[in-house]
Amino acid sequence: MKAAAADLRDNVAKHAALITTEMGKLIGTSEAEVMLSAAIFDYYADRAEHFLATKELPESPGAVLKTEPIGVILAIEPWNFPYYQLARVVAPQLIAGNVVVAKHAQNVPQCAVAFAELFERAGAPEGVHTNIFASIEQIGNVIEDRRVAGVTLTGSERAGAAVAERAGRSLKKVVMELGGSDPFIVLDDADLEHAVAGALFGRMFGTGQSCIGSKRIIVVGRDRGEKFLAEFTAAMQNQKPGDPMDPNTELGPVSSEQALETLLAQVSEARAAGARVVTGGDRIDRDGFYVEPTVLTDIDPANPAYNTEFFGPVASFYIVDSEDEAIKLANATRFGLGASVFTGNLERGRAIAAQIDSGMVFVNQPAWTAPEIPFGGTKSSGFGRELSELGFGEFVNHKLVNVAPRFATLGTS
Protein backbone atom coordinates (compact mmCIF):
# COMPACT_ATOMS: atom_id res chain seq x y z
CA MET A 1 0.00 0.00 0.00
CA LYS A 2 2.85 2.38 0.83
CA ALA A 3 4.54 1.59 -2.48
CA ALA A 4 1.33 2.37 -4.38
CA ALA A 5 1.03 5.69 -2.53
CA ALA A 6 4.62 6.59 -3.40
CA ASP A 7 4.00 5.66 -7.05
CA LEU A 8 1.03 8.04 -7.21
CA ARG A 9 3.02 10.90 -5.73
CA ASP A 10 6.01 10.28 -8.00
CA ASN A 11 3.81 10.22 -11.10
CA VAL A 12 1.01 12.62 -10.19
CA ALA A 13 1.16 14.49 -13.51
CA LYS A 14 0.75 11.29 -15.55
CA HIS A 15 -2.18 10.02 -13.51
CA ALA A 16 -3.88 13.42 -13.40
CA ALA A 17 -3.60 13.77 -17.17
CA LEU A 18 -5.51 10.51 -17.61
CA ILE A 19 -8.37 11.79 -15.46
CA THR A 20 -8.60 15.08 -17.34
CA THR A 21 -8.33 13.39 -20.73
CA GLU A 22 -11.12 10.92 -20.05
CA MET A 23 -13.72 12.95 -18.14
CA GLY A 24 -12.68 16.59 -18.51
CA LYS A 25 -11.82 17.50 -14.92
CA LEU A 26 -9.67 20.60 -14.42
CA ILE A 27 -6.05 19.49 -14.28
CA GLY A 28 -5.41 21.03 -10.85
CA THR A 29 -8.42 19.19 -9.44
CA SER A 30 -7.22 15.96 -11.05
CA GLU A 31 -3.83 16.37 -9.39
CA ALA A 32 -5.54 16.93 -6.03
CA GLU A 33 -7.56 13.74 -6.56
CA VAL A 34 -4.40 11.71 -7.19
CA MET A 35 -2.80 13.10 -4.03
CA LEU A 36 -5.95 12.37 -2.01
CA SER A 37 -5.86 8.78 -3.26
CA ALA A 38 -2.24 8.47 -2.11
CA ALA A 39 -3.24 9.84 1.30
CA ILE A 40 -5.97 7.19 1.57
CA PHE A 41 -3.42 4.45 0.85
CA ASP A 42 -1.10 5.80 3.54
CA TYR A 43 -3.93 6.20 6.05
CA TYR A 44 -4.88 2.53 5.89
CA ALA A 45 -1.29 1.29 5.73
CA ASP A 46 -0.42 3.30 8.84
CA ARG A 47 -3.43 2.01 10.79
CA ALA A 48 -3.58 -1.58 9.56
CA GLU A 49 -2.18 -3.10 12.75
CA HIS A 50 -4.63 -1.16 14.92
CA PHE A 51 -7.68 -1.92 12.76
CA LEU A 52 -6.81 -5.62 12.57
CA ALA A 53 -5.96 -6.06 16.25
CA THR A 54 -7.93 -8.54 18.32
CA LYS A 55 -10.20 -6.63 20.69
CA GLU A 56 -10.98 -7.86 24.18
CA LEU A 57 -14.49 -7.57 25.62
CA PRO A 58 -13.85 -6.52 29.24
CA GLU A 59 -17.41 -7.19 30.38
CA SER A 60 -17.07 -10.83 29.29
CA PRO A 61 -13.73 -12.23 30.48
CA GLY A 62 -12.27 -14.66 27.98
CA ALA A 63 -14.21 -13.16 25.05
CA VAL A 64 -12.47 -11.41 22.15
CA LEU A 65 -13.40 -10.14 18.71
CA LYS A 66 -11.16 -11.12 15.82
CA THR A 67 -11.31 -9.24 12.51
CA GLU A 68 -11.27 -11.57 9.52
CA PRO A 69 -11.74 -10.93 5.78
CA ILE A 70 -14.77 -12.35 3.99
CA GLY A 71 -13.32 -12.83 0.48
CA VAL A 72 -13.94 -11.25 -2.90
CA ILE A 73 -15.49 -7.77 -2.95
CA LEU A 74 -17.01 -6.49 -6.20
CA ALA A 75 -16.66 -2.71 -6.62
CA ILE A 76 -18.82 -0.92 -9.21
CA GLU A 77 -17.50 2.61 -9.53
CA PRO A 78 -18.41 5.88 -11.36
CA TRP A 79 -16.47 8.23 -13.60
CA ASN A 80 -16.55 11.50 -11.66
CA PHE A 81 -13.60 10.68 -9.38
CA PRO A 82 -11.85 7.86 -11.28
CA TYR A 83 -8.99 7.37 -8.79
CA TYR A 84 -10.52 8.46 -5.49
CA GLN A 85 -13.61 6.27 -5.88
CA LEU A 86 -11.43 3.22 -6.34
CA ALA A 87 -8.95 4.19 -3.63
CA ARG A 88 -11.56 4.52 -0.92
CA VAL A 89 -12.72 0.95 -1.59
CA VAL A 90 -9.52 -0.83 -2.55
CA ALA A 91 -7.32 0.50 0.27
CA PRO A 92 -9.45 -0.60 3.24
CA GLN A 93 -10.49 -3.88 1.66
CA LEU A 94 -6.95 -4.97 0.83
CA ILE A 95 -5.81 -3.99 4.32
CA ALA A 96 -8.68 -6.07 5.74
CA GLY A 97 -7.42 -9.07 3.76
CA ASN A 98 -10.14 -9.10 1.12
CA VAL A 99 -9.48 -8.94 -2.62
CA VAL A 100 -11.24 -6.57 -5.01
CA VAL A 101 -12.70 -7.05 -8.47
CA ALA A 102 -13.35 -3.57 -9.88
CA LYS A 103 -15.77 -2.68 -12.64
CA HIS A 104 -15.16 0.98 -13.50
CA ALA A 105 -17.31 3.33 -15.59
CA GLN A 106 -17.12 2.80 -19.33
CA ASN A 107 -15.81 6.31 -20.08
CA VAL A 108 -12.67 6.05 -17.90
CA PRO A 109 -11.02 2.82 -19.11
CA GLN A 110 -7.48 4.22 -19.10
CA CYS A 111 -7.83 5.30 -15.48
CA ALA A 112 -9.15 1.83 -14.59
CA VAL A 113 -6.17 0.09 -16.22
CA ALA A 114 -3.63 2.53 -14.76
CA PHE A 115 -5.01 1.97 -11.26
CA ALA A 116 -4.72 -1.80 -11.62
CA GLU A 117 -1.17 -1.48 -12.96
CA LEU A 118 -0.33 0.66 -9.94
CA PHE A 119 -0.76 -2.35 -7.65
CA GLU A 120 1.11 -4.63 -10.01
CA ARG A 121 4.12 -2.32 -9.82
CA ALA A 122 3.72 -2.10 -6.04
CA GLY A 123 4.17 -5.88 -5.79
CA ALA A 124 0.63 -7.02 -5.03
CA PRO A 125 0.09 -10.73 -5.75
CA GLU A 126 -1.98 -11.57 -8.81
CA GLY A 127 -5.69 -11.36 -8.08
CA VAL A 128 -5.45 -8.93 -5.18
CA HIS A 129 -6.86 -6.15 -7.36
CA THR A 130 -8.47 -7.15 -10.65
CA ASN A 131 -9.89 -4.70 -13.17
CA ILE A 132 -12.66 -6.01 -15.42
CA PHE A 133 -14.62 -4.53 -18.32
CA ALA A 134 -18.16 -5.86 -18.21
CA SER A 135 -21.64 -5.19 -19.55
CA ILE A 136 -24.66 -4.78 -17.25
CA GLU A 137 -25.68 -8.38 -17.92
CA GLN A 138 -22.19 -9.67 -17.23
CA ILE A 139 -21.85 -7.70 -14.00
CA GLY A 140 -25.17 -9.17 -12.87
CA ASN A 141 -23.68 -12.63 -13.25
CA VAL A 142 -20.63 -11.56 -11.24
CA ILE A 143 -22.85 -10.28 -8.42
CA GLU A 144 -24.57 -13.66 -8.20
CA ASP A 145 -21.35 -15.69 -8.44
CA ARG A 146 -20.97 -17.68 -5.23
CA ARG A 147 -17.32 -16.63 -4.93
CA VAL A 148 -18.27 -12.95 -4.52
CA ALA A 149 -18.87 -12.17 -0.85
CA GLY A 150 -19.92 -8.51 -1.00
CA VAL A 151 -20.72 -5.68 -3.40
CA THR A 152 -20.09 -1.96 -3.12
CA LEU A 153 -21.45 0.57 -5.59
CA THR A 154 -21.23 4.30 -6.10
CA GLY A 155 -23.79 5.47 -8.64
CA SER A 156 -27.39 6.42 -9.29
CA GLU A 157 -30.45 5.40 -7.29
CA ARG A 158 -31.57 3.24 -10.18
CA ALA A 159 -28.26 1.39 -10.36
CA GLY A 160 -28.13 1.04 -6.60
CA ALA A 161 -31.60 -0.46 -6.36
CA ALA A 162 -30.86 -2.96 -9.14
CA VAL A 163 -27.53 -4.05 -7.65
CA ALA A 164 -28.83 -4.24 -4.07
CA GLU A 165 -31.80 -6.33 -5.19
CA ARG A 166 -29.63 -8.78 -7.07
CA ALA A 167 -27.10 -9.06 -4.27
CA GLY A 168 -29.89 -9.40 -1.71
CA ARG A 169 -31.30 -12.42 -3.47
CA SER A 170 -27.92 -14.07 -2.85
CA LEU A 171 -27.76 -12.80 0.75
CA LYS A 172 -24.67 -10.69 0.13
CA LYS A 173 -23.62 -7.64 2.08
CA VAL A 174 -23.77 -4.39 0.08
CA VAL A 175 -22.65 -0.79 0.56
CA MET A 176 -24.49 1.81 -1.52
CA GLU A 177 -23.21 5.36 -2.09
CA LEU A 178 -25.87 6.96 -4.27
CA GLY A 179 -27.02 10.44 -5.26
CA GLY A 180 -27.29 13.62 -3.26
CA SER A 181 -29.02 16.99 -3.23
CA ASP A 182 -27.02 18.61 -0.48
CA PRO A 183 -28.42 21.72 1.21
CA PHE A 184 -26.10 24.65 1.89
CA ILE A 185 -27.70 26.66 4.72
CA VAL A 186 -26.59 30.24 5.37
CA LEU A 187 -27.92 31.46 8.74
CA ASP A 188 -28.63 35.09 9.55
CA ASP A 189 -25.38 35.46 11.55
CA ALA A 190 -23.06 33.98 8.90
CA ASP A 191 -20.27 35.96 7.26
CA LEU A 192 -21.68 36.49 3.75
CA GLU A 193 -18.34 36.78 1.97
CA HIS A 194 -17.13 33.52 3.50
CA ALA A 195 -20.44 31.81 2.73
CA VAL A 196 -20.51 32.95 -0.91
CA ALA A 197 -16.98 31.61 -1.42
CA GLY A 198 -17.99 28.34 0.21
CA ALA A 199 -21.11 28.02 -1.92
CA LEU A 200 -19.14 28.68 -5.11
CA PHE A 201 -16.58 26.02 -4.24
CA GLY A 202 -19.22 23.58 -3.04
CA ARG A 203 -21.27 23.91 -6.19
CA MET A 204 -18.54 24.17 -8.83
CA PHE A 205 -15.91 21.70 -7.59
CA GLY A 206 -15.47 19.12 -10.33
CA THR A 207 -17.67 21.29 -12.57
CA GLY A 208 -20.55 20.47 -10.25
CA GLN A 209 -20.28 16.74 -10.94
CA SER A 210 -20.07 15.53 -7.37
CA CYS A 211 -22.63 13.67 -5.29
CA ILE A 212 -21.69 15.79 -2.27
CA GLY A 213 -21.77 19.06 -4.21
CA SER A 214 -23.69 21.93 -2.59
CA LYS A 215 -26.74 21.76 -4.84
CA ARG A 216 -29.43 23.67 -2.90
CA ILE A 217 -28.40 27.02 -1.41
CA ILE A 218 -30.76 28.17 1.37
CA VAL A 219 -30.28 31.66 2.84
CA VAL A 220 -32.14 32.91 5.93
CA GLY A 221 -33.42 36.50 5.65
CA ARG A 222 -34.89 38.33 2.67
CA ASP A 223 -32.42 41.21 2.43
CA ARG A 224 -29.40 39.00 3.06
CA GLY A 225 -30.78 36.45 0.64
CA GLU A 226 -31.06 38.97 -2.19
CA LYS A 227 -27.53 40.23 -1.49
CA PHE A 228 -26.19 36.69 -1.38
CA LEU A 229 -27.95 35.86 -4.66
CA ALA A 230 -26.41 38.88 -6.40
CA GLU A 231 -22.88 38.08 -5.17
CA PHE A 232 -23.17 34.36 -5.84
CA THR A 233 -24.56 34.99 -9.34
CA ALA A 234 -21.68 37.34 -10.13
CA ALA A 235 -19.19 34.73 -8.93
CA MET A 236 -20.82 32.06 -11.13
CA GLN A 237 -20.74 34.38 -14.14
CA ASN A 238 -17.02 34.99 -13.62
CA GLN A 239 -16.14 31.33 -14.14
CA LYS A 240 -14.25 31.39 -17.43
CA PRO A 241 -14.37 28.31 -19.67
CA GLY A 242 -11.24 26.89 -21.22
CA ASP A 243 -9.08 23.85 -21.88
CA PRO A 244 -9.18 21.69 -18.73
CA MET A 245 -5.50 20.89 -19.25
CA ASP A 246 -4.70 24.62 -18.79
CA PRO A 247 -4.04 25.33 -15.08
CA ASN A 248 -5.63 28.77 -15.48
CA THR A 249 -9.01 27.44 -16.66
CA GLU A 250 -11.86 27.98 -14.19
CA LEU A 251 -14.72 26.16 -15.94
CA GLY A 252 -14.21 22.80 -17.60
CA PRO A 253 -16.62 20.73 -19.67
CA VAL A 254 -19.07 18.22 -18.26
CA SER A 255 -18.14 14.60 -18.81
CA SER A 256 -20.11 13.77 -21.95
CA GLU A 257 -22.64 14.94 -24.50
CA GLN A 258 -25.31 12.95 -22.67
CA ALA A 259 -24.48 14.75 -19.42
CA LEU A 260 -24.75 18.10 -21.19
CA GLU A 261 -28.08 17.27 -22.81
CA THR A 262 -29.50 16.00 -19.52
CA LEU A 263 -28.59 19.22 -17.71
CA LEU A 264 -30.04 21.46 -20.43
CA ALA A 265 -33.26 19.43 -20.45
CA GLN A 266 -33.54 19.67 -16.65
CA VAL A 267 -33.06 23.45 -16.72
CA SER A 268 -35.60 23.81 -19.53
CA GLU A 269 -38.12 21.72 -17.60
CA ALA A 270 -37.55 23.80 -14.46
CA ARG A 271 -38.04 27.03 -16.39
CA ALA A 272 -41.24 25.73 -17.98
CA ALA A 273 -42.58 24.91 -14.52
CA GLY A 274 -42.03 28.45 -13.26
CA ALA A 275 -38.45 28.64 -12.06
CA ARG A 276 -36.49 31.80 -12.81
CA VAL A 277 -33.11 31.39 -14.51
CA VAL A 278 -31.01 34.11 -12.86
CA THR A 279 -28.00 33.35 -15.02
CA GLY A 280 -26.88 30.69 -17.47
CA GLY A 281 -29.07 27.86 -18.64
CA ASP A 282 -27.54 27.31 -22.07
CA ARG A 283 -24.68 25.54 -23.79
CA ILE A 284 -21.51 27.55 -24.25
CA ASP A 285 -20.66 28.14 -27.92
CA ARG A 286 -17.27 26.42 -28.09
CA ASP A 287 -15.91 22.98 -28.81
CA GLY A 288 -16.62 20.50 -26.03
CA PHE A 289 -19.50 19.84 -23.67
CA TYR A 290 -19.59 23.16 -21.81
CA VAL A 291 -22.62 24.37 -19.85
CA GLU A 292 -23.02 27.94 -18.61
CA PRO A 293 -22.84 28.18 -14.81
CA THR A 294 -26.52 28.39 -13.95
CA VAL A 295 -28.54 29.67 -11.00
CA LEU A 296 -32.23 28.80 -10.62
CA THR A 297 -34.61 30.35 -8.10
CA ASP A 298 -38.36 30.74 -7.46
CA ILE A 299 -38.65 26.96 -7.31
CA ASP A 300 -41.86 25.74 -5.69
CA PRO A 301 -42.49 22.19 -4.46
CA ALA A 302 -44.49 21.32 -7.61
CA ASN A 303 -41.53 22.15 -9.85
CA PRO A 304 -39.51 19.07 -10.96
CA ALA A 305 -36.36 21.03 -10.03
CA TYR A 306 -37.42 20.85 -6.36
CA ASN A 307 -36.49 17.16 -6.32
CA THR A 308 -33.92 17.01 -9.13
CA GLU A 309 -30.25 16.27 -8.63
CA PHE A 310 -28.43 18.60 -11.04
CA PHE A 311 -25.15 16.84 -11.80
CA GLY A 312 -23.26 19.77 -13.24
CA PRO A 313 -22.78 23.55 -12.81
CA VAL A 314 -26.41 24.30 -11.86
CA ALA A 315 -27.39 25.67 -8.43
CA SER A 316 -30.88 25.91 -6.94
CA PHE A 317 -31.33 29.00 -4.75
CA TYR A 318 -33.88 29.56 -1.97
CA ILE A 319 -34.57 32.41 0.46
CA VAL A 320 -36.45 31.63 3.70
CA ASP A 321 -37.53 33.71 6.67
CA SER A 322 -36.38 31.57 9.55
CA GLU A 323 -34.02 28.92 10.81
CA ASP A 324 -36.90 26.47 11.15
CA GLU A 325 -37.88 27.00 7.50
CA ALA A 326 -34.28 26.40 6.44
CA ILE A 327 -34.17 23.08 8.30
CA LYS A 328 -37.52 22.00 6.90
CA LEU A 329 -36.44 22.83 3.34
CA ALA A 330 -33.06 21.13 3.82
CA ASN A 331 -34.83 17.92 4.82
CA ALA A 332 -37.49 18.14 2.09
CA THR A 333 -35.67 15.74 -0.22
CA ARG A 334 -35.47 12.00 -0.71
CA PHE A 335 -31.68 12.33 -0.53
CA GLY A 336 -29.60 12.48 2.64
CA LEU A 337 -25.92 12.48 1.76
CA GLY A 338 -24.26 15.68 2.99
CA ALA A 339 -25.14 19.18 4.14
CA SER A 340 -23.45 22.44 5.10
CA VAL A 341 -24.40 25.07 7.68
CA PHE A 342 -22.72 28.49 7.75
CA THR A 343 -23.03 30.49 10.96
CA GLY A 344 -21.12 32.83 13.24
CA ASN A 345 -22.00 30.66 16.25
CA LEU A 346 -20.48 27.19 16.32
CA GLU A 347 -22.85 25.88 18.98
CA ARG A 348 -25.77 27.04 16.87
CA GLY A 349 -24.20 25.25 13.91
CA ARG A 350 -23.98 22.01 15.91
CA ALA A 351 -27.60 22.37 16.98
CA ILE A 352 -28.73 22.81 13.37
CA ALA A 353 -26.56 19.87 12.26
CA ALA A 354 -28.37 17.63 14.74
CA GLN A 355 -31.65 18.39 12.96
CA ILE A 356 -30.45 17.70 9.40
CA ASP A 357 -31.41 14.25 8.09
CA SER A 358 -28.21 13.28 6.32
CA GLY A 359 -25.13 11.13 6.72
CA MET A 360 -22.73 14.09 6.96
CA VAL A 361 -23.05 17.71 8.05
CA PHE A 362 -20.24 20.26 7.79
CA VAL A 363 -20.28 23.55 9.70
CA ASN A 364 -18.71 26.57 7.99
CA GLN A 365 -17.35 24.62 5.06
CA PRO A 366 -18.78 22.85 2.03
CA ALA A 367 -19.15 19.08 2.25
CA TRP A 368 -15.73 17.50 1.93
CA THR A 369 -13.83 14.25 2.23
CA ALA A 370 -10.65 13.00 3.87
CA PRO A 371 -9.24 9.55 4.68
CA GLU A 372 -10.02 9.85 8.39
CA ILE A 373 -13.68 10.90 8.18
CA PRO A 374 -16.47 8.46 7.25
CA PHE A 375 -18.33 9.05 3.99
CA GLY A 376 -21.92 7.96 3.37
CA GLY A 377 -25.57 8.90 3.50
CA THR A 378 -29.07 7.97 4.52
CA LYS A 379 -32.49 7.80 2.82
CA SER A 380 -32.12 7.44 -0.97
CA SER A 381 -28.46 8.42 -0.76
CA GLY A 382 -27.68 4.86 0.28
CA PHE A 383 -26.30 3.05 3.31
CA GLY A 384 -22.99 1.90 4.68
CA ARG A 385 -19.81 3.95 5.05
CA GLU A 386 -16.52 4.33 3.24
CA LEU A 387 -13.23 5.72 4.57
CA SER A 388 -12.10 5.91 8.22
CA GLU A 389 -12.34 2.83 10.45
CA LEU A 390 -16.03 2.51 9.58
CA GLY A 391 -15.15 1.91 5.94
CA PHE A 392 -12.61 -0.70 6.95
CA GLY A 393 -15.24 -2.58 8.93
CA GLU A 394 -17.96 -2.89 6.29
CA PHE A 395 -16.75 -6.15 4.72
CA VAL A 396 -15.16 -8.10 7.56
CA ASN A 397 -16.27 -10.85 9.91
CA HIS A 398 -16.11 -9.64 13.50
CA LYS A 399 -15.67 -13.14 14.87
CA LEU A 400 -16.39 -13.75 18.53
CA VAL A 401 -14.08 -16.20 20.26
CA ASN A 402 -15.28 -16.89 23.78
CA VAL A 403 -13.08 -19.03 26.03
CA ALA A 404 -14.78 -20.19 29.26
CA PRO A 405 -12.68 -21.41 32.22
CA ARG A 406 -14.93 -24.48 32.43
CA PHE A 407 -18.17 -25.70 30.91
CA ALA A 408 -21.31 -24.35 32.53
CA THR A 409 -24.90 -24.50 31.42
CA LEU A 410 -27.16 -21.48 31.56
CA GLY A 411 -28.42 -20.82 35.05
CA THR A 412 -25.60 -22.68 36.84
CA SER A 413 -22.60 -21.24 38.59
What is the set of active-site residues?
177, 211
| Cβ within 8 Å of residue 194, ≥6 positions away | 342, 364
Q: Residues 308, 301: contact at Cβ < 8 Å?
A: no
Separation between Cα atoms, residue 151 and residue 202, nearest integer Å: 29
